[in-house]
Homo-oligomer: A and B are copies of this chain.
C-alpha cells in the first residue's frame, strides 16, 4: 500500500512539532531517476508551496516530495515563497538532489508562517528515516482532520501503482486541502506523466465533493521511476492509475467531515460532457440535496432545482424540464418531465441519483456526502 508499494521508492513520516501532536512531516523519494508531474488547485489564492512546486516542475523532473501538515503556508506573502523554497532546498541537500527536483506540499492553517525552525531539522530526520517500509508513516504524517489514513495499491502487468491521500472537507482551523501522492515503478516517457494524470484526476479527485470548497493548496503528484522494468503498456498503466486515483478519492469522500451517507450522482444525456459535469457538481454541492441525504428523505424536487441552476458559460447548463427523467435509488420518480408517484427507499448509507436529460451524449458522475450536524460542529464549534 501507499507510496512505497512500487519498487524503488522510499518514504518516511515524522513529528517535527508543526502540529501540537502527531506526525506532521512526510518525505517521499525515488531511489532511481524518475519522471513525474503534478496538478494543482485552480484557486486564485494559491499557496506558496503550490507556486514553488509549479515552478520546479517547469525546471526539472521531480524526484522527491515533501509534505507538511499543520500550516498551509497560504496568504503568507513573499515570506511564504522563501520558506517553501528553503524547505525544498534543505530536502534537496539531504537527498543529494537539485532544489528544483523537490516538490513541496502543505496543508493546514492559512495565514500563519511555516515554522522553519522546526521544519528544517525535521527534514534531516525525515531523510535519515527514509525506507521502503515508510509508506504508512508518510500517509499518517499528511493527515489533518482526517479520521483515517488513505492509501491505495493496484497492479498492472509487471508494475505497481501506489498512493496516499488526505482530505476530509475542512480542518481546524482552516482548510482541509486535498493532497495525493501517487508513485509507480512503471516507466513513463518524460512528459507523459501529465497526460496520464489529467484524465485520472478529472474522473476521481475532480469528481468528488465534501463541501464544494476548493482549497488554496490542493495538489496531486505522480512520480514514475520505471524500476519494475515492465514492458510498455500505456493503456494498462492508464487503467491502473485511474483505479488508484478513484480508490483514494472514494476514501476522501467516505471520510468526509460528518459524512453519514454517500451518494453517487450520475448525469447522462446532457448537451455536452462539460454540462453533464457542471450539473452533477451542482447537485453534489447543493446544501438542500445534502441535508435531504442526511435526513434520509428522497426530496427529489431539490435534485431537479439544483440541476436547473448549474453554472455554465455565464448562465445555466441546458436542461429541458419536459425531457428530464430521474431515478432515485433505482425508482423512476420522474419520466420525461412527468412525476410518477411512488416513494424511493432511502434508509441506507448510500444513495444513487440518476438524471437523464435527453438532450445529447454528455455524461458525468460525482461522488458526494451528506451535510450533517457533525459537519457544522466540526467547522463551527472547535473553539467552544
- Chain A residues within 8 Å of B, Cβ to Cβ: 42-46, 72, 74-78, 109-112, 170, 173-175, 211-216, 286-288, 291-292, 294-297, 299-302, 304-309, 311, 313-322, 324, 333-334, 337-339, 371-373, 375-377, 379-384
Contact = CB atoms under 8 A, between A and B. Distances in A.
Contacts of A78: 322
Contacts of A314: 313
A288 B379 contact: yes
Nearest to A382: B295
17 contacts: A43-B308, A43-B316, A45-B321, A74-B301, A74-B304, A75-B334, A75-B339, A76-B339, A77-B338, A111-B333, A175-B301, A175-B305, A213-B287, A214-B308, A287-B379, A297-B383, A373-B376
Contacts of A305: 43, 45, 74, 110, 174-175, 213-216
Contacts of A384: 295
A47 to B, nearest CB: 9
Contacts of A42: 309, 315-316
A75 B311 contact: no
Contacts of A45: 304-305, 307-309, 319, 321, 324
Contacts of A371: 287, 376, 380
Contact of A334 (B111, B308, B320, B324): B111
Nearest to A371: B376
A372 B376 contact: yes
A321 B383 CA distance: 28
A320 B74 CA distance: 13
A213 B306 contact: yes
A312 to B, nearest CB: 9
Closest 3 CB pairs of A and B: A110-B301, A45-B308, A295-B380
A300 B75 CA distance: 10
A337 B295 contact: no
Contacts of A376: 291, 294, 371-373, 375-376
Contacts of A377: 373
A320 B44 CA distance: 7
